[in-house]
Amino acid sequence: MNTPSPSESARPGSHRDREIVEARVIVTCPGRNFVTLKIVTRSGVYGLGDATLNGRELAVASYLQDHVVPNLIGRDAGRIEDVWQFLYRGAYWRRGPVTMSAIAAVDVALWDILGKMAGLPLYRLLGGRSREGALVYAHANGRDIGEASDEVGKYIEKGFLAVRAQCGVPGVKKAYGIASGGRPYEPAESELPAETVWNTPRYLETVPRLFERLRADHGNGVELLHDVHHRLTPIEAARLGRDLEPHRLFWMEDATPAENQTSFEIVRRHTVTPLAVGEVFNSIWDCKHLIENQLIDYIRTTIVHGGGITHIRRLADFAGLHQVRTGFHGATDLSPVTMGAALHFDTWVPNFGIQEYMFHAEETDAVFPHDYAFRDGRLHVGDTPGHGVDIDEALAAKYPYAPKQLPVARLEDGSMWDW
Ligand code: CS2
Ligand code: MG
């Protein structure tokens, strides 16, 4: 039986102290929407998990509130693996971004509690430090090639060792990744999806010219990355990869949609440009073929959309067996809670590659105080027990939910395309 003996319940960290007495979902919009789960134990120690799914936030909030929270009350917060299995196997309906983001929120909150009760930062619970900091890449973009190159230069001056570059495509209105009005790029900008228009031939002409210019302006000392954002067919992606080879990219990301994992065989057969994929995956099963056949170099699935630390650790270990390294998604729609947890993971994981780092708005940082910091091209975690990210609930309450959806893309004849 689970019932602890009286002497056990008197010890700090014993079952009674770890009993979950409350779990609540906090929806807030400090600059953009975030869903956060706070799990509180009888001892008063609490943990936080991110459950944000851009443009579909309330689906995860309801999944947690209506279907998960009632199952958590009274459980032992220390049984992280059992809770994970309960929520995954026990739901009968497995996988999918809503389910896996909800499970991730619980899982990360429980790891946070474990760290706080043990008095240890998360990376130490995972197995300790493998490196001094996590190499990160920033986002540079410009309306044209010249502007994008200037932006890359600014990041190099700020100390970044790796920069993702995107530029406007002549004839394409609202190209992916390009900021408007001097504001940082944020794709979910309106209540209903913005309609964008896509033109593959113009794009395929422009991108190799962008990277030719970036190498001419900035040399080979900086790592350069590019996100295709699922727009190409496999053979088009193969051609772009080949055209980019002289410019030595760190990676070409999401070159083609990846539901059909074998489509990457076509891309791989034709190019040695390294391939990254997986920010929209939520399970090891979404990338099993890609990894075991070594069709990719970096896996981008991260903690919040991939079932938490418990599942992503399995994925990373599996990837490591096949020389695939991590390159976690880190756009602004992943909250500081995910960034904190991901950085602890990055600090430990043996097959670390790189971490994406888009800066959060000041309001976001104020709602989620954290102890990670940028230094010398890397993000460094602190030694605060747990993942080191907190929430100011009073401040969060001042920013009510504001519905926003991601854009859609169409071809010039009106056909729907992949955004
Ligand atoms: C992206 C994101 O960061 C990336 O690589 O692909 O901008 C992505 O579009 C958003 O996270 C969607 O919510
Ligand atoms: Mg991406």
Q: Could you tell me the domains of the chain?
A: 6-123 (3.30.390.10), 125-384 (3.20.20.120)
Q: Three-class SS of residue 348?
A: helix
Report how far residue 14's alpha carbon sits from residue 143's, in angstroms, rounded to the nearest whole number.
Answer: 58
174 pLDDT band, cuts 50/70/90, is: confident
Q: What do you get for the CA distance between the two ends of the chain, in Å?
A: 52
Which of these is catalytic: 63, 137, 176, 203? 176
Helices (H) and strands (E) in the chain, counts: 16, 16
Q: What is the DSSP letter of 351?
A: T
Report how far residue 267's alpha carbon sits from residue 253's, in angstroms, rounded to the nearest whole number.
Answer: 12
Query: What are the pLDDT digits (tens) for 113-132?
Result: 999 999 999 999 999 999 99
- Evaluate if pTM is beyond 0.85: yes
Arithmetic mean of pLDDT, 402-414: 96
Ligand 1 atom, smallest distance to 55 CA? 13
Measured in whole angstroms, the distance separating CA 96 from the mean position of its chain's CA atoms is 16
**Hey, whose CA ends up nearest to atom 10 of ligand 1?**
331
Q: Distance from the CA of 18 to the center of ligand 1, in angstroms?
A: 36
Closest Cα to residue 231, out of 211, 202, 208? 202
Q: Distance from the CA of 252 to the center of ligand 2, in angstroms?
A: 10
> Is 289 annotated as catalytic?
no
Q: How many residues does the chain have?
A: 419
Tokens of 347: 């600090």
Query: What are the pLDDT digits (tens) for 312-366?
Result: 999 999 999 999 999 999 999 999 999 999 999 999 999 999 999 999 999 999 9
Report how far residue 170's alpha carbon sits from residue 207's, in angstroms, rounded to the nearest whole number.
Answer: 11
Q: Distance from the CA of 405 to the center of ligand 2, in angstroms?
A: 16
Q: Please report, as a single letter, which amino acid is at residue 30.
A: P
Ligand 1 atom, smallest distance to 254 CA? 6
Arithmetic mean of pLDDT, 146-166: 98
Which of these is catalytic: 229, 311, 360, 387? 229
pLDDT exceeds cutoff 50 at 184: yes
Report how far residue 404's alpha carbon sits from residue 331's, in angstroms, rounded to the nearest whole number.
Answer: 16
Report how far residue 171's alpha carbon sits from residue 149's, in angstroms, rounded to the nearest whole number.
Answer: 20
Ligand 1 atom, smallest distance to 227 CA? 5
> Is 176 annotated as catalytic?
yes
Report how far residue 177's alpha carbon sits from residue 206's, in angstroms, rounded to the nearest whole number.
Answer: 14
Arithmetic mean of pLDDT, 205-210: 98
